[in-house]
């Protein structure tokens, strides 16, 4: 089930729900915070969301992934608030009988998430400045 | 006709608030709301062409009629992931 | 570092080594044991390997993945011996600055692994029979 | 000229052993080893066209000359993953 969380993402729980006896492939995608952007050192990322609409959009991505690809299970959790470097801001877990569909669905979910979910990322730099990351028009 | 409007990210910072009330004549459209906000906060001008607008959680166009009591949301380009 | 193990694969350790502050994307692929094959119930899979050559082949896949794709890190562990349903027989972890390269590298490693690593899988069925799974000529 | 040969998967079961010693004249090739094994174990005939052969951990062709002391390995189609 799609989730937004202020705490660290519980990857183990996501993965436990995805592993099924009829599936041969599980793909876990973790989007992690990088410590540099355009040559500047990033101390922290922070995310905010229009939560009700973002949750609905994530749930729709999960459903569409199962309709468009031969996958049995798709679940997305996005973290909000401050995310320190190397921690995951988003985790997508997909399971399928065969790996080809699992790779395609996972990639599709991440591509769509970047354009269809009202979430915004702000970078805080070592020099004290911070800025909203250039985004994609919501569709 | 009244309702609420939510601001996010850069839009929230430009408006200096996370939300506001709107109060516009019957028959007003989304673009009328945007124009009235820009009149009071000219700083949002550069952002305006890049905004998406949701009404009650669904994306709407600039010429969509406002519904009484609706929750609007002004959404700058998104950067989740 | 490529590894063959008789014990359950230590995914947490693999993943901890893959998460780096200069990488925005980590992909974990788990190949898990399915409980059916061609309509028959599979109780257990067992793997055997020509271990020295299989380890060298896995290590070569890791190196080639980093050369062919823009990925920072690639690590593969394959389990040997008996693997109960829903447990992972293989785990591939890839990290990269950008997710596109990570997806491509992970998929490439799994495709190549199926043809380039001397490992064999035997299925044991509910009816007591067992058989070697149809394979791919080693190249 | 002597060496060792390893058998895996179906090949191991057909041979009834995981390995054997080989002893062939100087100048023998991989295909001579295969032929001598098939002579003593005709059951491997159907497998033979599908086997890959490694010598000291590297894949070799049927016409590769055997090296004294080499470890050969007979490798049925693989199914890792």
DSSP sequence for chain D: -EEEEEE-HHHHHHHTSSEEEEE--TT-BHHHHHHHHHHH-GGGTTTGGG-EEEETTEEE-TTPBPPTT-EEEEEPPB---
* Nearest-angstrom CA–CA distance, C78 and C121: 12
ipTM of the complex: 0.94
pLDDT digits over A11-52, tens only?
Answer: 999 999 999 888 899 999 999 988 888 788 888 899 999 999
Q: B59–A119: do the CB atoms touch at under 8 Å? A: no
The tokens for D47 are 């497998």
How near does any CA of chain C get to the CA of D71, in Å?
A: 12
- Contacts D75 to C, Cβ<8 Å: 50, 118, 138
The CB-side HSE value for D44 (13 A sphere, CA atoms) comes to: 26
pLDDT average, residue stretch B42-60: 97
Q: C32–A22: do the CB atoms touch at under 8 Å? A: no
* Nearest-angstrom CA–CA distance, A124 and A41: 9
As a whole number, the mean pLDDT across chain B is: 97
- Numbered residues of chain A with Cβ closer than 8 Å to any chain B Cβ: 31, 47-50, 52-54, 56, 78, 89-90, 110, 113-115, 117-122, 132-139
Which contacts of A123-129 are long-range, i.e. CB under 8 A and separated by 24 or more positions? A123/A37, A123/A42, A123/A44, A123/A45, A124/A42, A124/A43, A124/A44, A124/A45, A124/A46, A125/A40, A125/A41, A125/A42, A125/A43, A126/A40, A126/A41, A126/A42, A126/A43, A127/A40
Question: Residue B1: its pLDDT value, please?
Answer: 96
pLDDT digits over C51-99, tens only?
Answer: 999 999 999 999 999 999 999 999 999 999 999 888 999 999 999 999 9
pTM, two decimals, is 0.95
Question: Residue C23: its pLDDT value, please?
Answer: 86
Q: C27–A28: do the CB atoms touch at under 8 Å? A: yes
Of C9, C15, C17, C28, which to mutate for an interface test with A (greatest number of A Cβ within 10 Å)?
C28
Nearest CB partner across the interface for A119, out of B10, B73, B78 = B78
Burial class (CB in 10 A: 0-12, 13-18, 19+), A19: middle
pLDDT average, residue stretch D31-57: 97
Question: Residue A93: its pLDDT value, please?
Answer: 98
How near does any CA of chain A get to the CA of C47, in Å?
A: 15
3-state secondary structure at position C16? helix
As a whole number, the mean pLDDT across chain D is: 97
- In the predicted model, is pLDDT for residue C33 greater than 90? no
| Per-residue confidence band for D61, with pLDDT thresholds at 50, 70 and 90 | very high
Nearest CB partner across the interface for D80, out of C56, C113, C139 = C113
Contact between residue D60 and residue D31 where contact means Cβ atoms under 8 Å apart: no
- The answer, for C24 touching chain A at a CB cutoff of 8 Å, is yes
To the nearest 10°, report the CA torsion of A86, A35, A2, B55: 160
Percent of chain C, pLDDT > 70? Answer: 100
- The answer, for D39 touching chain C at a CB cutoff of 8 Å, is no
Q: A135–B59: do the CB atoms touch at under 8 Å? A: no
Find the range with the poorest average confidence among A83-87, A92-96, B40-44, C67-71: A83-87
Other CB atoms within a 10 A radius of the CB of residue D7 amount to 25
Q: What is the 3-state secondary structure (H, E, C) of chain B?
A: CEEEEEECHHHHHHHCCCEEEEECCCCCEHHHHHHHHHHHCHHHCCCHHHCEEEECCEEECCCCECCCCCEEEEECCECCC
| Per-residue confidence band for C34, with pLDDT thresholds at 50, 70 and 90 | confident
Q: A27–C24: do the CB atoms touch at under 8 Å? A: no
- In the predicted model, is pLDDT for residue A82 greater than 90? yes
């Amino acid at each position: 089930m799609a989730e937004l969380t202020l705490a660290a993402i519980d990857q183990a729980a996501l993965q436990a729900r995805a592993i099924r006896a009829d599936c041969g492939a599980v793909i876990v995608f973790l989007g992690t915070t990088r410590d540099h952007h355009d040559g500047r050192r990033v101390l922290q990322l922070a995310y905010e969301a229009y939560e009700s609409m973002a949750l609905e959009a994530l749930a729709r991505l999960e459903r569409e992934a199962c309709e468009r690809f031969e996958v049995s299970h798709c679940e997305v959790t996005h973290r909000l608030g401050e995310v320190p470097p190397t921690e995951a801001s988003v985790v997508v877990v997909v399971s399928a009988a065969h790996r080809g569909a699992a790779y395609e669905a996972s990639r599709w979910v991440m591509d769509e998430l970047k354009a269809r979910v009202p979430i915004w990322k702000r970078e805080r730099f070592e020099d004290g400045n911070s800025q909203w990351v250039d985004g994609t028009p919501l569709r | 006709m009244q309702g609420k409007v939510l601001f996010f990210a850069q839009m929230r910072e430009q408006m200096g608030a996370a939300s506001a009330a709107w109060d516009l004549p019957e028959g007003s459209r989304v673009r009328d709301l945007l124009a009235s906000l820009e009149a009071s906060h000219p700083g949002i001008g550069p952002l305006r062409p890049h905004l998406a607008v949701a009404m009650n959680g669904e994306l709407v166009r600039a010429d969509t009629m406002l519904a009484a009591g609706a929750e609007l949301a002004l959404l700058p380009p998104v950067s989740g992931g």
